Amino acid sequence: MTTEHDSRAQSLERFSRFASHYVTSSTHASGYDLDQLLAFAVPRPHWIALDVATGGGHTALKLAPHVRQVIALDLSPVMLNAAHMFHTSKGADNVVYLRSDAELLPFADSSLDLVACRIAPHHFPYVHRFIMDAARVLKPGGRLVVQDQVVPENKRAAAYLEAFERLRDPSHNHAYNEYEWRGMFLDAELKVEQMTTLRKTHSLIPWAQMQDCPPDVIARLHIMLVQAPQPVADFVRPVAAGTPDARFDHVNILISGSKP
């Protein structure tokens, strides 16, 4: 059984190894979802914002022009350095960098205006801890905005998708359904303000190659996509499965909540 320590160590190793991939990844670097995240955040010029698990730094860069300061936080120092170089190349001068665990945020209670986290919580050992701690560090009226992979409520379909994701990236821990996300926000006493789902289409081979998957793993991913049960196929909408042009949808949730 994988321990919490093993899970963090695996994430740290893989994200450090593939840091440059995340800077250039079209999934993370661009898309209408970044614009929607910004719209859900409703940032203000005097705000201090925290971007948790900043990765390549794309969310921090999106927020930077709209707030006083962005704190880019990540567990991997290699990833933080990659984000720093990326921000410097883009002229962002109001971002500071901090290495820390997403589930134990090193900030005082009620000290931040905005916490954002994009396409990362499925790697966290205990997402509910992150949500609770994000609520703790927010000022009254502050906002938490999260975007992440979401799974269907059908448990068999969700388990199949989890296995598909973990085959490609063993640091994938767990993705939640919409009901569970809403529940975690409510448990942290955050008022859910907006929630929507977003679809992003991936070509299977470049998606797998981003994690340096060997040919045998790519072949198994193809098989899983071809043989996907109908509830899974309905969810990810595969096209040209089993061919070099195979592609499918990632379904993400985007949810925002405010602290009373």
Tokens for 170, please give them: 């063993």
CATH assignment of the domain containing 184: 3.40.50.150
Query: Residue 252: what pLDDT?
Result: 97
Give residue 20's pLDDT band: very low, low, confident or very high (50, 70, 90). Answer: low
Q: Say if residue 19's pLDDT is above 50.
A: no
Instruction: Examine the pLDDT at 17 and tell me if it is beyond 80.
Output: no
Residue 26: pLDDT above 70? no
Q: Which residues of 33-61 are buried (b: 16+ CB within 10 A; e: fewer)?
A: bbebbbebbebeeebbbbbbbbbbbbbbb
**pLDDT tens-digit series, residues 48-89:** 999 999 999 999 999 999 999 999 999 999 999 999 999 999
Does 86 reside within a domain? yes
User: Cα angle at 118 between 112 and 120, to 5 degrees?
Assistant: 110
Higher per-residue pLDDT: 153 or 21: 153
pLDDT tens, residue by residue, 45-59: 999 999 999 999 999
What pLDDT band is residue 32 in, cutting at 50, 70 and 90? Answer: confident
Q: Which residues pair with 147 in a beta bridge?
A: 118, 254
Tokens in use for 176? 């939640």
Would you say residue 102 lies in a domain? yes
Distance CA 250, CA 152 (A): 12
3-class SS of residue 132: helix
Average pLDDT over residues 4-19: 53
Q: How many domains, in total, are found in the chain?
A: 1
132, pLDDT greater than 50: yes
User: 138: which strand partners?
Assistant: 112
Residue pLDDT, tens place only, 177-236: 999 999 999 999 999 999 999 999 999 999 999 999 999 999 999 999 999 999 999 999
Query: From CA 145, how far away is CA 157, in angstroms rounded?
Result: 26
In a domain, 222, yes or no: no
- Residue 175: CB atoms within 10 A of its CB come to 23
Q: What is the pLDDT, as a whole number, of residue 13? A: 58
The whole model's pTM is what? Answer: 0.90
Which residue range(s) make up the domain with 186? 4-153+171-200+250-258
In a domain, 239, yes or no: no
Closest CA to 193 of 109, 107, 114: 114
**128 within domain boundaries:** yes
pLDDT at residue number 89: 95
